[in-house]
């Protein structure tokens, strides 16, 4: 091949090679550290109310997660709870005394838009709606999901207030055995209850997390591979624990808690649906 032809050939290869490389798209957000959790930070010009939801692969708008639960007392008795009609308060009931008003499950739904922004203008989480069984009333909190971590606020109404003292469901990249991280949170006394612990003022929970295993879990919606996260929370009140099972499609599919009073709370995903 003559010199001029070689030059033309090499130039052609270079042009084709450049054209075949996909263009890099600039991310809409930066990740910033918010006390140990990496959250999305958008330019102020981006006003889409679903901006914190668009990149979610688990907590997608319209998806619904139903968990069954049980409370196990320190002496091994299984309890559920029901709402008292007159006061709106709740009380433990044994599984032998359940009826149509007994709460045996909790539903977490992912809201469209950012309804929490009405109350907190700079709210930067995916909004979760929590429903206790058949109750029409619900509350809202949030989830953070991105390429660096997944974190959710656990159910928080009535009996589930007990979970506020426990490690929150949380996983950080890289998703592999041996990954460790820490977190902390201040918790007010409005979460206290004589049925587990009373305190005054704020306490600070300090959390340690570690991915310790990868297991195939049998659930009511099928077998799935899960990362196992073991977590501890310590404060002046004592210590709580969580073993969480995380699946990249369904999120936190099983949550086994040890509560501040030595009781246990177990939640397991039994139904999942998503908006078509």
pLDDT for the residue 10: 42
C-alpha to C-alpha distance for 186 and 12, rounded to whole angstroms: 62
What pLDDT, in 10s, does the model give residues 124-147?
Answer: 999 999 998 656 667 899 999 999
Q: Collapsing DSSP states into helix, strand and coil, what is residue 27? A: coil
For residue 180, list its beta bridge partners. 210
* Ramachandran angles phi, psi of 248, nearest 5°: -60, -20
Domains and CATH numbers, the chain: 37-273 (2.40.360.20)
Spatial distance between the Cα atoms of 65 and 247, rounded to a whole number of angstroms: 13
The pTM of this model reads 0.88
Would you state the pLDDT for residue 205?
97
Distances (CA, A) of 244 to 151, 211, 228, 229, 268: 12, 9, 6, 5, 10
Q: pLDDT tens string for the chain (276 positions)?
A: 555 554 444 444 444 444 544 444 567 899 999 989 999 999 888 889 999 999 999 999 999 999 999 999 999 999 999 988 766 789 999 988 888 889 999 999 999 999 998 889 889 999 999 998 656 667 899 999 999 999 999 999 999 999 999 999 999 999 999 999 999 999 999 999 999 999 999 999 999 999 999 999 999 999 999 999 999 999 999 999 999 999 999 999 999 999 999 999 999 999 999 986
Structure confidence by residue, pLDDT tens digits, 191-218: 999 999 999 999 999 999 999 999 999 9
DSSP 168: P
């Amino acid at each position: 091949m003559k010199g001029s032809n070689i030059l033309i050939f090499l130039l052609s290869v270079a042009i084709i090679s450049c054209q075949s490389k996909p263009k890099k798209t600039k991310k809409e957000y930066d990740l910033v550290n918010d006390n140990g959790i990496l959250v999305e930070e958008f330019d102020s010009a981006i006003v889409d109310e679903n901006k914190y939801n668009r990149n979610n692969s688990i907590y997608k708008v319209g998806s619904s997660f139903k968990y069954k639960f049980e409370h196990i007392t320190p002496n091994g008795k299984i309890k559920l709870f029901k709402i008292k009609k007159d006061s709106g308060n709740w009380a433990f009931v044994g599984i032998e005394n359940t009826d149509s008003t007994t709460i045996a499950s909790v539903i977490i739904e992912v809201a469209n838009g950012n309804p929490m922004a009405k109350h907190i203008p700079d709210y930067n989480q995916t909004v979760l709606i929590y429903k206790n069984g058949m109750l029409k009333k619900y509350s809202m909190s949030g989830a953070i999901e991105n390429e660096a971590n997944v974190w959710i606020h656990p159910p928080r109404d009535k009996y589930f207030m007990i979970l506020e003292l426990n490690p929150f469901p949380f996983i950080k990249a890289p998703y592999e055995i041996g990954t460790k991280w820490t977190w902390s949170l201040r918790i007010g006394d409005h979460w206290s209850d004589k049925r587990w612990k009373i305190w005054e003022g704020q306490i600070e929970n300090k959390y340690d997390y570690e991915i310790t295993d990868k297991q195939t879990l049998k659930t009511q919606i099928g077998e799935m591979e899960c990362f196992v996260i073991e977590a501890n929370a310590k404060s002046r009140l004592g210590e709580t624990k969580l073993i969480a099972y995380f699946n990249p499609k369904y999120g936190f599919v099983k949550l086994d808690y040890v509560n501040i009073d030595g009781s246990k709370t177990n939640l397991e995903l039994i139904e999942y649906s998503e908006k078509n």
